[in-house]
Amino acid sequence: MLKHTRVTDPQLYQLLEDELHRQEKNIEMIASESTAPLEVMELTGSVFTNKTLEGYPGKRFQAGSEIADEVEKLANERAKELFHADHVNIQSYSGSTANYTVYAAILDPGDKVLSMRLDQGGHLTHGSPANWVSKMYHFEFYGVNKETELIDYDALEEKAKEYKPKLIVAGASSYPRLIDYKRIGEIAKEVGAYFMVDMAHVAGLVAAGVIPSPIPYADFVTSSTTKTFIGPRSGMVFCKAEHAKTLDKGTFPGCLGSIQLHTMAAKAWCFKHAQSDEYKAIMKQILVNGKTLAKELADHGFRVVSGTTDNHLVLVDLRPKNITGKLFQNALDKVGITVNKNQIPFDPASPFVTSGARIGVTSITQRGLKAPEIHEIVEIMDQVCKAPEDEANLAACKKRAEALISRFPLYPAGSFDD
Ligand SMILES: Cc1ncc(COP(=O)(O)O)c(C=O)c1O
């Protein structure tokens, strides 16, 4: 692996080896992570990275674009076919910039946007005070019902009518249930707002058709291409035909610079791969594993937010276990299970401590883990909660976690041999 870097920069090479080893021996359950296919790594590390181009196929600002144009056109055609979309722009560098390109395309400074509260599932780029977008546009927020912990669509509708936003944003970072895109789309239409769905977390599930797609209902659909989509660290935006010119202009020159041909090529590979039976089987299994995880956690005395999950992540309330999200995350990290602390709806704890955790199943599903292994993982989590600061307890749990994951290779043997 990295035969040149190994010679010219042994220090950096060692860090890469260490990271590969960490990923191999850890049970990775960060909901936004997945394991990139080897082809994605080949293409993102290819000579495609050398080409600088601005603009769109047939309308570039630099010469030497013939092959790049073919790559971008191929990726666009495959993406539109896969997601049944009128138009796509795959120039975004990530899920965050995908959101920024839509804002740049349709909003003016001071415009009003209605989006999901950050502490109930929304994302930084949906108007967090910590993100620059909150300085540019006026954000108002909707959230979940305190009893059901599901999006309160009636309250959303009321807010939309009262606030009259130019844009309504749906989609989330830590919402375990399906979102009623049709309903929010109708509300947006009624108040004359654009409707954007950020499907960053669930794009793979949508691509495989195992959960409903937002594409028929939204003006714009943005996404990362990592997470459940299992692609390169990049982004994409879909839109209705009538917004195609606006989106493209807002993306370049409105928001971004030159294209990243290497990730574009990797995305093109993913759009084809996502049509395969192998990919669809993984996405189906992610849903099964998510439900299994939710049930196992509930059976072991954890409280599962909203009762279950319809996607790849479970949001768990740790208060019945008398442990904070911060301690849970840190103790599990020592054991070799990687999760992240997360606020739960109406959390009395700060975002730095939290009462909950977000646990995802994409990476473990790719590695082949199923119900018996998820049962063992939750048993380990339960045991960790009993004595999270007892080093002997954590060492025993770590042994169990290592024994479990060592049976499921991260990549096929020999993948990185020179
Ligand atoms: C809903 C949502 N949108 C956007 C992003 C940002 O994606 P990226 O990290 O690709 O910029 C995330 C990241 O976690 C997310 O959860």
pLDDT category at 206 given cuts 50, 70, 90 is very high
Per-residue pLDDT averaged across 251-271, rounded? 98
Instruction: Write down the pLDDT at residue 406.
Output: 97
Q: pTM of the prediction?
A: 0.97
CA of residue 292 to ligand 1 center, whole Å: 25
Please compute the mean of the pLDDT values over residues 159-184 and round it to a whole number: 98
Residue type, 370: K
Nearest residue (by CA) to ligand 1, atom 9, is: 95
Tokens standing for 304?
Answer: 């599962």
Q: Which of 101, 123, 133, 196 to mutate to test the pocket of ligand 1 (most atoms within 8 A of CB)?
A: 123
d(CA 326, CA 254): 40
pLDDT (0 to 100) of residue 242: 98
Q: What is the pLDDT of residue 209?
A: 98
Q: What is the pLDDT of residue 304?
A: 98
Give me ligand 1 centre to Cα 397, in Å: 32
Cα gap 281→186, rounded to integer Å: 33
Q: How far is the CA of 97 from the centre of ligand 1 (A)?
A: 9
Give the percent of the chain with pLDDT over 90: 98
If you measure from the C-alpha of residue 413 to the centroid of ligand 1, how many angstroms do you get, rounded to a whole number? 31
Tell me, letter by letter, the H, E, C secondary structure of the chain.
Answer: CCHHHHHHCHHHHHHHHHHHHHHHHCEECCCCCCCCCHHHHHHHCCHHHHCCCCEECCEECCCCCHHHHHHHHHHHHHHHHHHCCCEEECCCCCHHHHHHHHHHHHCCCCCEEEEECHHHCCCHHHCCCCCCHHHHCEEEEECECCCCCCECHHHHHHHHHHHCCCEEEECCCCCCCCCCHHHHHHHHHHHCCEEEEECCCCHHHHHCCCCCCCCCCCCEEEEECCHHHCCCCCEEEEECHHHHHHHHHHHCCCCCCCCCHHHHHHHHHHHHHCCCHHHHHHHHHHHHHHHHHHHHHHHCCCEECCCCCCCCEEEEECHHHCCCHHHHHHHHHHHCEECEEECCCCCCCCCCCCCEEEEECHHHHHCCCCHHHHHHHHHHHHHHHHCCCCHHHHHHHHHHHHHHHCCCCCCCCCCCCC
d(CA 65, ligand 1 centre) in Å: 30
Q: Which of 207, 260, 255, 327 is nearest to 90 (CA)?
A: 260
Q: Looking at residues 191-215, what average pLDDT do you find?
A: 98
Tell me which residues have their CB closer than 6 angstroms to ligand 1: 32, 94-96, 123, 125, 171-173, 198, 200-201, 224, 235
* CA atoms of 219 and 89, how far apart (whole Å): 13
Q: Which atom of ligand 1 is nearest to the CA of 225?
A: 10
pLDDT in tens, 70-104: 999 999 999 999 999 999 999 999 999 999 999 99
Q: Which residue has the tokens 């849970």?
A: 328
- Nearest alpha carbon, ligand 1 atom 16: 173
Q: What is the mean pLDDT of residues 147-158?
A: 98
Mean pLDDT, the chain, whole residue set: 97
User: What's the pLDDT score for residue 243?
Assistant: 98
pLDDT at residue 299 in the model: 98
Give distance in angstroms: CA of 403 to centre of ligand 1: 32
The ligand 1 atom nearest the CA atom of 224? 10
Q: Are 94 and 235 in contact (CB under 8 A)?
A: yes
